[in-house]
Chains A and B, each alone.
Chain A
Amino acid sequence: MIEEAIRDYIVRNSRAALDSASLTPDTDVIAEGLVDSLMLLQMTDFIEDHFGVEILPDDLTFENFGSIAKITALIEDRSGKV
């Protein structure tokens, strides 16, 4: 569910050219330019509003936002679902 919502958000909002068929949970969305510095902030709003969790200042890293799987893990961690 979370993974699908994040995938959908990236497909709808990315500014880079995106072949959505090839976007997997482990695609490096930062290396590919799908998540840039603006998107990082916009996605923070989306995650907070949509999943009711809070993103903290130290969260905006490659380790948390580098792929759909990583973002999903961050949200699961914050919502205590792990």
Chain B
Amino acid sequence: MSEVPKRCDVLIAGSGPGGSMAATFLRQKGYDVVLMERRRHPRPNVGESLIPHFWTYTDAAGVTDRLVAERFIAKAGAFADWEGERRHMAFRNYGFSRPALHVERDVFDHILFNHAVGNGAQAFEDCTVQDVEPGETVVTRYVHAEAGAGTIASRFMIDATGQQALLGRHLDVRQADDDFRFVAIWGYFEGSSYMAADGTMQPPENARTIAPTTFVTGLPYSGAGWCWHIQLRESTSVGLIVPTERIRQARSQPGGLEAFFLQQCAELPQLSILLQRARFIPGSLNVINNYSYTSARMTAPGCFMIGDASGFIDPIFSIGVTLAMYGAFTAAWAIDRSLRNAERAESSRAIFEQQIQTRMAVSRALCRPAFRAPAYTEGRLKAAMRLYSTAEHGLIRDVTGLSGRSINFERMSDPAAA
């Protein structure tokens, strides 16, 4: 193992899709990058459903061929069973030539990590970032499993620590989202059937020939609670987004959360049919409490927060990985612009902040079952929506409509107010 350096141009904490892609983008521009990962790849991660937009970023990073070669499951679109209505959408109707994917995140994230290393990022696994001091020189403290504690000085730092939200907590800018008091609980099954885009149910062995959809269904006892079913190569990811109070009850019942989860899987109308012959993989249950939050600020002097570290919303639209990659691209752009012209460091940071905050605000508004944005925010959201293409507007309208959330889209896409 090489020694952790004392200085570098950019220190990146976290090597999920955001961190690894940011490392690659910065290496392409010739900067000296250190990438720290608290675990070791390959490691499990949730968020297996990807919209096809992510290819734009993997093209820019030069890692598309490697991802294509992995032959992940190509998905056709989404199928929703929502308040008695069944609707579906297919990405190919919106001009996408490449597929959306269902990916095993341990494999997917590992490919992006290896690509960053292949591009010359100095990566350290089993290396936990403990604390960051923003400033003209950013000082980061870490603990490495072998080398022990140390500090590294960098001109810039990117926080890609995911739900850990290192910098957001440190700066006390992380805000729990009171509109989304939900718990995510998920597990894995073997042998599940899936929904194809034409509304037929297919056995697992057909997943290569008849593309699956991401199946979502609303929970009958909660307007905004829902469930996902994501067909992977060897298993199926099934998750519930459940109101916090309901989970509190479930924890106190015999069998606890696992019994609750399996009972839901057996009772939800269409899901239970898909899982009829499936076997739950023991020990595969995971929980994230209070996962929904935003950050009042997403930058500090020398520092940028990207991906889940900057905020996380309801995962209903499968945009998390794409948002993280967009954050990675924008942070790398802002850092490069700052290092090429120090006088533009402030405005680069302001552009990053504005772009990422706006993107997050749009995503959040689209997720909400009702529209409650203040007038100022509404104006900003409408202006932001003007920057999406016609095809993208059509896609967003139809996808939000699947789960009965298009009311916010209709309001935000009003061109008269843009």
Contact = CB atoms under 8 A, between A and B. Distances in A.
B389 A57 contact: no
Nearest to B358: A60
A56 B347 contact: yes
B301 to A, nearest CB: 16
Contacts of B390: 31-33
Interface string A34-46: 0011101110110
Interface string B384-395: 001111111000
Interface in B76-125: 95
A60 B344 contact: no
B347 A54 contact: yes
Contacts of A16: 389
A9 interface: no
Interface string A7-19: 0000000011000
A22 interface: no
A57 B350 contact: yes
A41 B333 contact: yes
B192 interface: no
Contact of B347 (A37, A57, A66): A57
B210 interface: no
B386 A41 contact: no
Contact of A54 (B56, B344, B386): B344
Assign chain B's interface to a size class. Answer: 20 to 34
Contact of A60 (B60, B95, B351, B418): B351
A37 B355 contact: yes
A66 B386 CA distance: 9
A38 B383 contact: no
A33 B355 contact: no
Contacts, number: 58
Nearest to A56: B347
Given A38-B56, A57-B354, A31 B387 contact: no
A30 B389 contact: yes
Contacts of B389: 16, 30-33, 36
A62 interface: yes
Q: Is the interface of B mostly helix, strand, loop or mixed?
A: helix
Given A37-B326, A38-B56, A30 B347 contact: no
A48 to B, nearest CB: 8
Contacts of B330: 41
Contacts of A41: 329-330, 333, 351, 355
A33 B392 contact: yes
Interface string B347-372: 10011001100010000000000000
A61 B386 contact: yes
Interface of A: 15-16, 30-33, 36-38, 40-42, 44-45, 54, 56-58, 60-62, 65-66
Q: What are the 8 closest A-B residue pairs judged by CB atoms, nearest first?
A: A33-B389, A62-B386, A57-B350, A31-B390, A41-B333, A57-B351, A57-B354, A57-B347
Interface of B: 56-57, 59-60, 95, 326, 329-330, 333, 337, 344, 347, 350-351, 354-355, 359, 383, 386-392, 418
30 contacts: A15-B56, A30-B386, A33-B389, A33-B392, A36-B56, A37-B387, A38-B56, A38-B57, A38-B326, A40-B387, A41-B329, A41-B330, A41-B351, A41-B355, A42-B333, A44-B351, A45-B333, A45-B337, A54-B344, A54-B347, A56-B347, A57-B347, A57-B351, A57-B354, A58-B354, A60-B354, A60-B355, A62-B383, A62-B387, A65-B387
